[in-house]
Structure 1
Amino acid sequence: MPFLSQPLTLGAFFPALPLDSLLSTQGIMVLLLAAYAGAMWMFLTSAPKVHTIMVSDLESGRQFYEGVLGLAAAEVPLHYYYNYEQSLGATSVDPLYMSPGLGGPATATRNFNGTDGLWYQLKKNTQVHVISGASLGQKDRQRHVCFDRDCLEQVLMRVQTRGIKHKIRREKPLNFLVKDWEGRVIELAEVSN
């Protein structure tokens, strides 16, 4: 085993590349870009999945998600500080689901900051972002609107496991009613794009 007694050089790991080309300005830039790409990949794959739910009243939403469902408050994910969702165009909302006082989606987009609202931990790497903006439902019910079926299925499962009184009105799109501890009826509705 004579190779174990020999000291390893950088050229041993990159035999096809001469050492001077690896340590050139261009070689260092390529290595830095590869390191940056690896860091971004790790950052984005470790970021939690975030579901957004619009509610007609933020305070009753807080009472529902914290009190009734018992969800723990969560930290705002780092990628929301850099307006990640706004860069994807996720802030455009159909005016049908906006309350009249907000003045339509243009106002909501202009005034909405990605870190506003309430943040809850739904599962290990899944969070719920609760924001205001939904209109009241029939009979002035509190209304919670979500564009993601998976999110509402997880909320429904949480309602069922906690033994909370509920009624499924429709499977597709998912729509169900929940009665909170104060007797208020809350409508949770999936909105398909």
Structure 2
Amino acid sequence: MTISISSILAFTQPLSLAALPGLDPLFSTQGIMVMLLGAYAVAMWMFLTSAPKVHTIMVTDVQLAKNLYEGMLELPAADIPLHYYYNYEQSLGAAAIDPLYLSPGIGRSGLSSTSAPEGLWYQLKKNTQLHIIAGASLGEKNRQRHVCFDRDCLEQVLLRVQMRNVKHKIRQEKPLNFLVKDYDGNVIEMAEVSA
């Protein structure tokens, strides 16, 4: 059997992109940029879909709320989600500046916007967190109030209240409004605020 020298040289030559049909445009500068953008889009999608859903409740007294959510309802503390820590929604411009997320010192210095968000963070369910912030006004009879714009959030809190056999009274179904009595005898009004 004889093998020609030209056949042997053909196998030892490095393969060029031009030799493979259809791959030349893929590895061009434009092709590489498109692949990088696609990889970035997939990474962002994975980051955002793995981020926990966050419910926010505004309270009149943060310390009283801490006693209720940690003490009576036994909610475990949660880490601040990265998209809140880095103020992700507002940096994208996806959300207008919502007064619910503004801290009291927003006008004091430019450094306050880079600090971690204020408030309390609790794990409500596996991929659902509860963010407690100050800002609600006192209710009737100077009753402590916890207000929320999300009915699902208050329904989950009510379910937790019922599971822990905490004394409560449902005042209204739509919008959801119920009273909870803590160990110190404070009556806390939990109210859904309709937009």
For Structure 1 versus Structure 2, the TM-score category normalised by the shorter chain is: 0.7 to 0.9
Gaps of 5+ in 2: 1-14
CA-to-partner distance for each residue in 1:116-156, whole Å, 9 max, x for gaps?
A: 10000000000000000000111111100000000000000
Please give the residue correspondences for 1:82-161 in structure 2 after superposition, counting only pairs within 5 Å: 82-86=86-90, 87=93, 88-89=95-96, 91-92=98-99, 108=104, 110=106, 115-161=117-163
What secondary structure, in the 3-state scheme, does the structure 1 residue paired with 2:175 have?
Answer: coil
**Aligned with 1:35 (options 24, 32, 39):** 39
Q: State the distance in 1 between where 2:143 and 2:132 align.
A: 17
CA contact (8 A) 1:146 1:191 kept: yes
CA-to-partner distance for each residue in 1:31-76, whole Å, 9 max, x for gaps?
A: 0000000000100000000000000011101111100110000000
Q: CA deviation at 1:82?
A: 2.2
Alignment of 1:176 onto 2:172: no
Gaps of 5+ in 1: 1-8, 94-104
Q: State the distance in 1 between where 2:177 and 2:130 align.
A: 18
What secondary structure, in the 3-state scheme, does the structure 2 residue paired with 1:135 have?
Answer: coil
Q: State the distance in 1 between where 2:105 and 2:177 align.
A: 26
Aligned to 1:66: 70
Q: What is the TM-score of this pair, normalised by structure 2?
A: 0.80
- Calculate the aligned-residue CA RMSD, in Å: 2.4
Q: State the distance in 2 between where 1:85 and 1:156 align.
A: 28
CA contact (8 A) 2:103 2:118 kept: no
CA contact (8 A) 1:168 1:177 kept: yes
What secondary structure, in the 3-state scheme, does the structure 2 residue paired with 1:189 have?
Answer: strand
Give the direction of change, closer, same or farther, for the CA distance of 1:44–1:107 in structure 2 (3 Å limit).
closer
What secondary structure, in the 3-state scheme, does the structure 2 residue paired with 1:73 have?
Answer: coil
Q: Which has the higher helix share?
A: 1
- Seq. identity, %: 66
Q: CA deviation at 1:110?
A: 2.8
Q: CA deviation at 1:28?
A: 0.3
Alignment of 1:20 onto 2:24: yes
**Aligned with 2:52 (options 48, 52, 66):** 48
Give the direction of change, closer, same or farther, for the CA distance of 1:48–1:57 in structure 2 (3 Å limit).
same
Q: State the distance in 2 between where 1:186 and 1:76 align.
A: 25
CA contact (8 A) 1:92 1:109 kept: no
Alignment of 1:75 onto 2:79: yes
Question: Which structure: larger Rg?
Answer: 2
Q: What is the TM-score of this pair, normalised by structure 1?
A: 0.80
Q: State the distance in 2 between where 1:120 and 1:90 align.
A: 24
What secondary structure, in the 3-state scheme, does the structure 2 residue paired with 1:61 have?
Answer: helix
Q: CA deviation at 1:81?
A: 1.8
